[in-house]
Structure 1
């Protein structure tokens, strides 16, 4: 399993909702069928999230109510 880290600074406020989103290219993390989103806790450990995942053209957006440091895990 491969992963891509992201930081809370990577999130952008979605104009159409109250959510924040971080964007990935489909070519960098695959189709998105088996994505796992993990949030980094203050102690450095990770916890799984049931984050909303949106797709548009060749982009994948991970959406959450607030920005956070984390990673997305995917099959290569």
Structure 2
């Protein structure tokens, strides 16, 4: 399994008032078996159920607020 860390600063507020991250299929594969983990105040990761959508060759991860975390995926 591979992972990609991300920070709060990478989130963009979309027109639905949700914060989202955008990845291409070239970066993380087809998008199957994605796991989103949020870093808590202790520096540990916890799995969350974020909304994940796909449009063309882009994959979007949406949440109500930006957070530091990581995306775990198979490529």
Q: By the TM > 0.5 criterion, same fold?
A: yes
Between the aligned partners of 1:22 and 1:4, the Cα distance in structure 2 is 12
Segments of structure 1 that go 5 or more residues without pairing to the other structure are none
Q: Which residue does the alignment assign to 1:9?
A: 9
Distance in 1 (CA, whole Å) between partners of 2:60 and 2:8 is: 14
Off by >6 Å, runs of 4+ in structure 1: none
- Cα distance in structure 2, aligned partners of 1:38 and 1:63: 13
Q: How many residues align?
A: 75
Question: SS at the partner of 1:67?
Answer: coil
> How far is the alpha carbon of 1:46 from its aligned partner?
0.3
Per the TM alignment, residue 18 of structure 1 is displaced from its structure 2 partner at its CA by 2.1
Corresponding residue number in structure 2 for 1:52: 51
User: Normalising by the residue count of structure 2, what TM-score does the alignment of the two structures yield?
Assistant: 0.96
CA distance in 1, matches of 2:57, 2:45: 27
- TM-score using structure 1 length: 0.95
What is the deviation of 1:74?
Answer: 0.4
